[in-house]
Amino acid sequence: MKEIKVYNVNLPLKVPFETSFGIQYSRNALIIEYSDVYNAYGESVTDDVPGYSYEDNITALHVIKDYLIEILKETLDPSEFVEKAKKIKGHNMAKSAIETMLWDLESKKKGISLKDLIGGEKEKIESGISIGILPMEKLIDTVKKSIDLGYKRIKLKIKPGWDIEVLREIRMNFGDIPLTVDANQAYEGKENKVLELDKFELLMIEQPLAENNMVGLSRIQKKLSTPICLDESIHSVKDAKTMLELDAGRIINLKIGRVGGLKESLEIVNFCGNNKIPLWCGGMLETGIGRAFNVILQSRMEFNMPGDTSPSDRYFEKDIIKKPFTMDKGYIEVPNGNGIGVEPDLEFIKKVGKIIFQQRL
């Protein structure tokens, strides 16, 4: 019997995560489970509040149950699903939740790992850490502990008024560490403030202006020696091509959910590889299910910078998979089992969540 379930699970964060969008205290996730001969899983990277994107858990559930389930009745092939889902405008995160589940299913049907199915080669990936806005003393302590743990790159969330002094303190305390900043679009209308960041010898400045302001991003990139990295601006390979054509950025942060799933992600990966664009993978505080897709995608050789994929215990006291992701000297192993190679802890999922949608196909 083919069946789809959507679980809503809530995991408190060990430390509140503050960005220019606001403060997040928990990961409120939608987990997709397909069951038949094989069980397959996906995760929506939406949350309660439409801050990072216009999508949230309510819109994602609506699109899944009212539109995407009908497409699943027609096909379980991930590529065909993507083509049929194009009739639904936008809602990439909802689409990605189903599409990634179908990739898990496809690789399990073939009896291979998802890593092998997408052409991954790495056995382990470099792990960077994304640190939210914290009081200065706590921030310095967190950076020190992160360096001691072996993280390969330190990323700080910034916003106007929480930037220059912060970077000055970090450089003064830690010297020439691999350091980046992420503005989450907070400097729109304050372009000159971005130029002040150039003196700190950062690896990149991530998404300083609004996602749709490619012209403005191009204008300040030409004035900066520091590369701009685009995150929210990249929803498709077409956007990546626009970035390259306008010189609106020189590095890409790829998030599977933001671009609608693995198929589009792989097109962006290929484009970056062919055009020598530095590439890394961002995160959305995913549980172990969403994290598995991020880790596996980064097994592709085109990912040549440490991403934001930290081990499970960076965020949660207990993850929803039986064998959480761990880090050793700054590296995370890529799962090699069939499909995404992780086993959900269904007993724990039912303890911290509930089924909010269930339907036979």
Q: What is the CATH number of the domain that holds 54?
A: 3.30.390.10
Q: Using CB atoms within 10 A of its CB, is residue 153 exposed (0-12), middle (13-18) or buried (19+)?
A: buried
CB atoms within 10 A of CB 309: 25
On whether the CB atoms of residues 46 and 30 are closer than 8 A, the answer is yes
Query: One-letter amino acid identity for 176?
Result: D
For residue 297, give Cα distances in angstroms to 99, 210, 230, 236, 293.
Answer: 14, 27, 18, 16, 6
Residue 235 resides in a domain: yes
Is residue 90 included in any domain, yes or no?
yes
Per-residue model confidence as pLDDT tens digits over 219-238? 999 999 999 999 999 999 99
Domain count, the chain: 2
Average pLDDT over residues 255-263: 98
Q: What is the pTM of this model?
A: 0.96
Whether residue 143 is found in the same domain as residue 233: yes
Domain co-membership, 23 together with 127 = no
Q: CA torsion sign, 131 to 135 to 140 to 145?
A: negative
Cα 126 to Cα 310: distance, rounded to the nearest angstrom: 9
Q: Is residue 102 part of a domain?
A: yes
Query: For residue 296, which of 255, 349, 333 has the smallest C-alpha distance?
Result: 333
Residues 266 and 165 in one domain: yes
- Mean pLDDT taken over the chain: 97
Q: Is the dihedral of CA 132, 138, 180, 201 positive or negative?
A: positive
pLDDT at 18: 80
Q: Are residues 39 and 62 in the same domain?
A: yes
The shares of helix, strand and coil residues in the chain, as percent rounded to the nearest 5, are 40, 25, 40
Residue 122 shares a structural domain with residue 181:
yes
Out of 115, 155, 193, 255, pick the active-site residue. Answer: 255
In angstroms, the CA 203 to CA 222 distance is: 16
325 with 197, same domain? yes
* Residue 78, CA distances (Å) to 39, 197, 256, 343 in order: 15, 42, 14, 21
- 212 in the same domain as 122: yes
Q: Is 86 a catalytic residue?
A: no
**Residues comprising the chain, all counted:** 361
Per-residue pLDDT tens for 312-333? 999 999 999 999 999 999 999 9
Residues 88 and 179 in one domain: no
Would residue 89 show up in a list of annotated catalytic residues for this protein?
no
List pLDDT tens digits, range 138-185: 999 999 999 999 999 999 999 999 999 999 999 999 999 999 999 999
Domain membership of residue 338 (yes or no) is: no
Q: How far apart are CA 51 and CA 201, in angstroms?
A: 29
Query: Are residues 108 and 121 part of one domain?
Result: no
187, 246, 263 from 242: Cα distances, Å: 21, 6, 19
Quick one: 151 and 73 in the same domain? no
| Same domain? 157 vs 283 | yes
Q: Determine, yes or no, domain membership for 301.
A: yes
User: Do 325 and 200 share a structural domain?
Assistant: yes
Domain presence at residue 311? yes
Residue at 82 is within a domain: yes
Q: Phi-psi region for residue 17, left (φ > 0), alpha (ψ -120 to 50) or beta?
A: beta
* pLDDT score for 106: 98
Instruction: Report yes or no: 117 and 106 within 8 Å, Cβ to Cβ.
Output: yes
- Residue 16: is its pLDDT beyond 90? no
Query: Confidence class of residue 19 from pLDDT cuts 50, 70 and 90?
Result: confident
- The catalytically annotated residue of 95, 115, 157, 263 is 157
22-35 sheet: strands from edge to edge: 39-44, 22-35, 3-19, 353-360
Provide the domain limits for residue 286: 116-333
